[in-house]
Amino acid sequence: MTQVPFNDLTLQYETLRPEMDAAMQAVIDSCAFINGPEVKAFEADFEAFCEVEHCIGVSNGTHALEMALRALDVGPGDEVIVPAMTFIATMEPVAMLGATAVIVDVDPETKNMDTEKLAAAVTARTKVIMPVHLHGAMADMTRIMAIASDAGVRVVEDAAQAHGARHNGVRAGGIGDLAAFSFYPGKNLGAYGDAGAVVTRDAGLAEQVRRLRDHGRLPGEKFDHLTIGSNYRMDTLQAAVLNVKLKRLEDWNKRRREIAAAYSAGLGNVVGTPHSRDTDENVFHLYVIEVEDRDAVRSRLNEAGIATGIHYPEPLNLHTAIRETTPYGPGDFPCAEHLAASMLSLPIFPEMTDAQVTHCIDAVRNAVVG
């Protein structure tokens, strides 16, 4: 029987092994482990990839979000608006900085921040709107930027799942004031450990993030600490890994889109499939279907040798940590709660074969219609 893993990073490493081993060995040979030249090289190439002026390599995506908010002076008394359906890391930095996370429901079709609810949630205390490009599909950035501009508030894109996605031709990360990327190993661009980046078109914000990630100083200012920062630097070994992989990212995203197109053609008439705006380019970090009897479908797929995932089984308002520290609770975000109960992530990774894709389509059709 055809087995289909949810992702296969081992297989991907096999396709990269000689170049990857040489790149990592070069860092070890040089012993330039902190702020090595590979970090600068990665920043230059990722800037070009995102079509923005500034990229700052950092320790992970969660810290990238935190530094983006700190660069905008977010703190106690400020409100930051986030969508209900996302990984908890979207709102953790808001709480860590002592600000208030204002959660809004998502749109049932796009699964991204509902812009009508967003407009209604803006108050005099709103400082930042933080949309997430969930599963690799862009949030409605045109509408979000218009709402932000009317209200005089800033926008931080959580682009952790959207490396290379486009909205009206503009890459994820190039629309908001700042954006955060994660290079967690399973992301479209993944390190061999933790890593992340902040990107921005604003030189002043970029300089602030550079200071925050390295003890409040810029390169060359060894003992001149102008602000209280921390150590949120990108590991040089991870930068070397990312340099090898970034060259393949366009091709990998193209393959993800091919697989997604095959899934949508084969499954569109039996299950809910991802919505795509004609003007956007989705990079399908995940391919998520919607089914009412999810657990049954999932176990039938498991019997057919197909691994699946759930992203995410709970909206933000149902996590214990959030229920206990905010006014939010069950029933607040019906759309996100319904999605959490019905979404199922199918395998999608660039190395997946056409035979595996066909097997998944057949198995889902059988599981749903019998």
Ligand X SMILES: *Cc1c(COP(=O)(O)O)cnc(C)c1O
Near ligand X by CB under 6 A, which window of 155-163, 165-173, 215-223, 237-245?
Answer: 155-163
Near ligand X by CB under 6 A, which window of 84-92, 104-112, 197-205, 255-263?
Answer: 84-92
Cis peptide before 328 (omega within 30 of 0): no
- Name the residue among 354, 133, 140, 179 with its Cα closest to residue 262: 354
Q: Are strands 287-290 and 100-104 parallel, antiparallel or unpaired?
A: unpaired
Q: Of residues 89-118, which lie at the interface with ligand X (CB under 6 A)? A: 89-90
Q: How far is CA 49 from CA 8, 9, 24, 52, 145, in A?
A: 24, 22, 22, 8, 22
- Name the residue among 243, 104, 250 with its Cα closest to residue 166: 250
User: Does the footprint of ligand X cover residue 132 (CB under 6 A)?
Assistant: yes
- Name the residue among 189, 188, 326, 344 with its Cα closest to residue 263: 344
By the 8 A CB rule, do 89 and 52 touch?
no
Near ligand X by CB under 6 A, which window of 12-20, 86-94, 321-329, 354-362?
Answer: 86-94
By the 8 A CB rule, do 308 and 361 touch?
no
Q: Which is nearer to ligand X, 65 or 147 (CB)?
A: 65
Contacting residue, 46, 49, 184, 192, with ligand X by CB under 6 A: 184
User: Does the footprint of ligand X cover residue 263 (CB under 6 A)?
Assistant: no
- Name the residue among 87, 153, 144, 130 with its Cα closest to residue 311: 87
Contacting residue, 66, 78, 158, 235, with ligand X by CB under 6 A: 158
CA distance 300 to 331: 30
CB of 61 to ligand X, least distance (A): 3
Q: Which is nearer to ligand X, 90 or 356 (CB)?
A: 90
Contacting residue, 87, 232, 312, 328, with ligand X by CB under 6 A: 87
By the 8 A CB rule, do 360 and 306 touch?
yes
DSSP, collapsed to helix, strand or coil, labels residue 76 as coil
Phi, psi values for residue 197, rounded to 5°: -155, 150
User: Does the footprint of ligand X cover residue 188 (CB under 6 A)?
Assistant: no
Q: Of residues 33-62, which lie at the interface with ligand X (CB under 6 A)? A: 60-62
User: Does the footprint of ligand X cover residue 333 (CB under 6 A)?
Assistant: no
Q: Which is nearer to ligand X, 61 or 347 (CB)?
A: 61
Q: Which is nearer to ligand X, 285 or 359 (CB)?
A: 285
Q: Which residues contact ligand X (rule: CB under 6 A)?
A: 60-62, 86-87, 89-90, 132, 158, 160-161, 182, 184, 194, 196
